[in-house]
A and B are shown apart, each in its own frame.
Chain A
Amino acid sequence: MFATPTSQGQPAIIIDDALAALEGNLPLLKTVVQMVIDQSGVDLAAIRTDAAAANSTALAASSHRLKGSLGAIAAQPAFQACSALNKLARAGETAAYAIALAHLEEELGRLLPCLQTWLAESPTN
């Protein structure tokens, strides 16, 4: 089992769980992981812009996209952080955006290196 280290007790991702979420399809997992790596920076940039502008409608949409990608690979800590931000955006609780965004950034900061390492070390077939 490939589990990533964490300072908060919960791994950033458990690859076995991610693989199970994709019905054991390893090539698909590699594709999806690469998509998450490529897209999360774009999504996070949009989330930062939307949160800074207190644009709740746009933030709900941008956080929804990232939440969906993170959920697909069962990256629970980052998924939960993004879900919390999405919930705040849908409720229009602008005052809480900064704290929720910081938490999401922290979790993505743990997750993305793990995904890159796994992708680099994963078997080619």
Chain B
Amino acid sequence: MKKVNYTNKRRVLIVDDVEVHRVMMNTFLSKINPFMTIDQASSVPEAIATLSDGHFDAVVSDWNLPGQGGEVLLKWMRARANFNRVPFIMVSSNTDNQDIIHAFMTFGVDAYVTKPFKAQDLYEKITAAYDKRNPD
């Protein structure tokens, strides 16, 4: 099992319409890895605008965003060469395994966490998804 890196300088985009959730994830992830750069977006259009503005190593997104859901963002990413291989970590409050399996099979989600989740678990899934997409 690969050792988890706590000092990598990855840049991650967090997408959630609930500001409290964004602040929580930002605080948790920054505490685990202070070298991580974290950007935030509250909607799919805002996420697309932020992604278009630079390089990102992973996207952590709420799946059940009001309006355009996480699948819209993921489809947009997978349709573009520069984001096609960026890991997408799905955050869901839905514990229905069928929905999660559907998201994996249909949309190419790299990993998922269901709320409430442990910060360490989210961090490890981000790094594992990145490492899988970017083997040494």
Contact = CB atoms under 8 A, between A and B. Distances in A.
- Say whether A associates with B: yes
Contacts of B21: 68, 72
Given A23-B28, A28-B24, A60 B66 contact: yes
B116 A21 contact: yes
Interface stretch (A3-11, A31-39, A96-104, A110-118): A31-39
Contacts of A60: 66
A28 B20 CA distance: 10
Contacts, number: 50
A14 interface: no
Classify chain B's interface size.
Answer: 10 to 19
A54 to B, nearest CB: 17
A119 interface: no
Nearest to B119: A23
A35 B17 contact: no
A68 B24 contact: no
Interface of A: 21-23, 25, 28, 31-32, 35-36, 39, 57, 60-61, 64-65, 68-69, 71-73
Interface of B: 16-21, 23-24, 27-28, 31, 64, 66-67, 93, 115-116, 118-119
21 contacts: A21-B116, A23-B118, A23-B119, A28-B23, A28-B27, A31-B27, A32-B20, A32-B23, A35-B19, A39-B20, A57-B67, A60-B66, A61-B17, A61-B66, A64-B64, A65-B17, A68-B20, A69-B20, A71-B93, A72-B18, A72-B21
